[in-house]
Structure formats: structure tokens, C-alpha cells
Amino acid sequence: MDARRFSAAAARNRAPILAVLRRHLPVPGLLLEVASGSGEHALHLADALPELTVQPTDPDPSALASIDAWAATARLPNLRRALVLDAAAPTWPVARADALFCCNMLHIAPWEAGLGLLRGAARVLPIGAPLLLYGPFRQAGAPTAPSNEAFDAALRVQDPRWGLRAVEEVAAAATAFHLAAIEAMPANNLILVFRRSETASSHPA
């Protein structure tokens, strides 16, 4: 039985995501992906960036099976087997990474999981390392697209703890980071580029 999962969204957005990540990721280095889902982004990044080692993770057993099935098919030497990682857990199975990427998690998880992600990233990333968060966000001074408003409402029906997060809310909670850049992406998404620092700032450079 083929355990691989296929995501139409991942197929659409992987090229724009890669283009942005190329500008911000350190090379060489270890890229930790939190909430890897189907594993398609991890595979695409490992294939396109052979100088990076990609460590996918997820808490869901079916996602872990999919990630490893994709990895087995590709046989890329720089794509590691998936690890079980709960973003909200006080300890992670990875002690250090050179960059962290998380795609489409913050809006489909309780805010406690987002806070756990920021705390965990602060534990594993050295000073100056990037934390890259992709997804739909609200942003002060920028109108929220009608499609994102509808998406937010649908998410909150499924679980009132879910929903689009405000850029400012995330930046305020990321006390060990400064917000270095906000990258506009297709379909009204953003990539928030944080850098590990000893002082916090909520303003993009």
C-alpha cells in the first residue's frame, strides 16, 4: 500500500516557497521542518537544495508514514527520516538546527501550539538563524482578502481555537526573535522571516 499523501496546495505553492527560502536559508546547514504534513515540501526542498540537510517532523502517524514513503521513493541523501515532534511539547527530538521552516500550521492549531513552536525554535536555533513561517495571516493596515476571511470563518466553525493569526500577534510572542522580513506570496499568503536574537523587535527590517 502506498502511504504517500498528495497535497494540491503543496504542488501549487512549493516553487514560490522555494524561491523565497533560497534567499533566507543558510547553506550548508540543517533545516528543521515542523509540521511537515505529507512530506512533499521536505522532498522538494531537499531535492532543490542538496547543500542542506532536511529534517522533516510531524506528530501525526499517517503524516510520518507519508513523509518516509516520499523519502524512500526519492532516495535523497540529504533528506532524513521523519521524527515525531509535537510543537507544543517542552522538549523536541532535535537539539539544534541552522534554520526552521513551518508551513500552514499556525492557523490550524491552537495558539498554544504556536507559542510552543516559538519557544522550541528559540531552543534549537542559534543567534541569527532564520525561523520561516508560511501561511495566511492578518496584518495591520492591510485589508484581509475575502477568501481569507471566509477561510478564517470556516476554520473557527471546525474548532474555535483555530483561525488566522495576526502578524503582530506572532511577532509579539516571538520574544527571542526579531521580524526581519515579510514576504508576499501567491493566494494571499505570507512568509514571515524571523531571525534569532537576544532582543525582540516587531518591525521588519
CATH number of the structural domain spanning residue 68? 3.40.50.150
87 within a domain of the structure (yes/no): yes
What is the extent of the structural domain holding 54? Answer: 8-196
The Cα–Cα gap between 36 and 182 comes to 21
Is residue 56 situated within a structural domain? Answer: yes
For residue 91, which of 69, 123, 118, 68 has the smallest C-alpha distance?
A: 123
> Could you give the number of structural domains in the chain?
1
Asked if residue 3 is part of any domain, the answer here is no
Tell me the three cell numbers of residue 165.
Answer: 493569526
Beta bridge partners of 137: 165
Q: What is the pLDDT of residues 133-182, one digit of tens each?
A: 999 999 988 889 999 999 999 999 999 999 999 999 999 999 999 999 99
| Residue 2, domain member (yes or no) | no
Its pTM stands at 0.94
